[in-house]
Structure 1
C-alpha cells in the first residue's frame, strides 16, 4: 500500500503563522522531513511518535542531495505512512517543491500541497515594511540571490525600475555583487534597503541602509543567514511603521 505526502509550508519562523491545516497535519504525521529554515518552535510541534528526519541544506553544504531526498520522500510514503515534507516559507516559492512533486508523480505517490506564508510577506510585515504602497511601489518582484549554477546573474536592467519593490531571498549570497550591479544599471546609490535576519522569530534583526552601503552594513553587523533583502522606497517607512506596530 501507499501512504500520502503533504508538502507543507511552515512559514518564515513564527509558529503562529502556520495555517490551521498545516498545524493539524503536522501534529498527526507519522514521518516528518524538515529543512534548516523551519523554526525550532515549529519542529517542537512534531509528535514524539513521528519519525523526524532532518534534511536541511545550507549553501554548498547539502546534507542530502536533492535527487536522493526526492526518492526518500517517495520511499517513506510507500511504507504506507502519512509523510509531511516540511519547508520553511512556502514550498512553491524558491522551495524546490515542484521538483519533489515530480518525483512523487513518477512514483505514483498521492500528495497534497499546503501553502505557507512566504518569507517576503512574513518578514516584511514583522519588520514594518509594506511591500506595496500607493505612493511608493505598485509592484513587487521576488528573486533569489542564489541561482542553480551558483551565480547571481540576474536581469539587472529589468530590476532597476521605478515604483517597484525587490525582495531577494538568500540575499546575503553575492550581496556585494548585487549592490554593485544594480548601481551599474542605473539604481541610485541612495535607494533604501533593509536586511531582515531571522525574520518573524524572537531573534529577528532588521537593518536599514542604502544600496550603496548595505554590504558594509551587513559585514559590520555580522548578519547571518537566513536573511532577506528588501530594496525600494517602501523601506523608508520601516522605522515609523515598526515603532507604532509595537504599541
Structure 2
C-alpha cells in the first residue's frame, strides 16, 4: 500500500511491470546516444532476448552488434529528404510480429520518451491488445553535456532546462522566446542544425545577448564526436562552416568547461 492507501499491484497494468521481454509483447527500448558502454543492463537483456528488433536510423552499429544471434533486424529509420517508412507501417509491423508470438524490441536512439513518437506506437499496440514495457535510455542531452564537462542545471544560474526539437521550425511557434532569451537560460535543441538561423533570429529579436554561449555537439558520446563552441551571434555562420553531417544537439547558454575544451583541442592536434 502507498501512503495514499492505493495498492500499486492492483492499479499498475501487467505490461508496465515487466522485468523481462515476453513472447507476444513489445519492449520499447532506449539505445542511448550511441556509445555501447552507456547502454543499460535492462536494454542489453532485451536485445539479447529479442526475436525481432525494429531499429531507428541513429542506433549505432555497436549497439546492434549486441543483439542475440538469432534476432531479425529491421531498419525502420527515417531520414530527412531520404528513404522514409511511414509511422503507420512501423506500428503495423510491431503489431504483426507481436501477434505472431514474437519477442519484439522497438529500439530507439537516446531515450524513447523524448522526441521518439512513442505515444503513437504505444497506442497501436494497446489497440491490438498487446502488452508492452518501456526501457528508458540515456538521452543525447545528458551524454552531450557530460562530454563538455557541464551541468544542465546550476544553482544561481538556472533551475530549469528546456528540451526542444528543431526538426520542424513550425514547432517553435509556441515557445516562450522571451524566457529562452533571458540571461542564464539553458536549452537543449535536438535536430536543430537546419533551424539554427531561425532560432538565432528569434532569440536576438526577443532580447537575447549575441555573446550568449552556444555549443553544438555532433555524434555525442561516439568516437567521432565533434564540438563546436560559438555564440548566439555567430551560431548560424559557424555551424555552416563546421559542416556537421551527423546528428547534432545544440545547447543554448552553455560553453564547454575550459579544462575539457583544452583537452579536446589537444586530442584534435594529436589526431
- TM-score normalised to structure 1 length: 0.92
Between the aligned partners of 2:221 and 2:193, the Cα distance in structure 1 is 18
Between the aligned partners of 1:190 and 1:60, the Cα distance in structure 2 is 33
**Residue equivalent to 1:217:** 238
In the alignment, structure 2 segments of 5+ residues that lack a partner are: 1-22, 267-271
Confirm or deny that 1:15 pairs with 2:45.
no
**Residue equivalent to 1:127:** 148
Larger relative strand fraction: 1
Question: RMSD in angstroms over aligned alpha carbons?
Answer: 1.9
Q: Would the aligned equivalents of 1:198 and 1:225 in 2 still touch at CA under 8 Å?
A: yes
**Residue equivalent to 1:181:** 202
**Residue equivalent to 2:52:** 31
Moved over 3 A (4+): 149-152, 241-246
Between the aligned partners of 1:28 and 1:49, the Cα distance in structure 2 is 9
Out of 255, 258, 262, the residue aligned to residue 239 of structure 1 is 258
The CA deviation string for residues 141-179 of structure 1, in whole angstroms up to 9 with x for no partner, is 1000123x8554351223223332110000112111111
Larger relative helix fraction: 2
The CA deviation string for residues 32-64 of structure 1, in whole angstroms up to 9 with x for no partner, is 000011111101112231110001111243521
Compare 84-93 and 163-172 and name the one that shifted more.
Answer: 163-172
Between the aligned partners of 2:174 and 2:199, the Cα distance in structure 1 is 9
Out of 213, 216, 234, the residue aligned to residue 195 of structure 1 is 216
Residue pairs, 1:111-122, within 5 angstroms: 111-122=132-143
The CA deviation string for residues 114-139 of structure 1, in whole angstroms up to 9 with x for no partner, is 00001111111122222112243222
Between the aligned partners of 1:153 and 1:36, the Cα distance in structure 2 is 27
| Structure with bigger RCO (C-alpha 8 Å, 6+ apart) | 1
Compare 132-141 and 183-192 and name the one that shifted more.
Answer: 132-141
Figure out how many residues of one structure are paired with residues of the other and give that number.
242
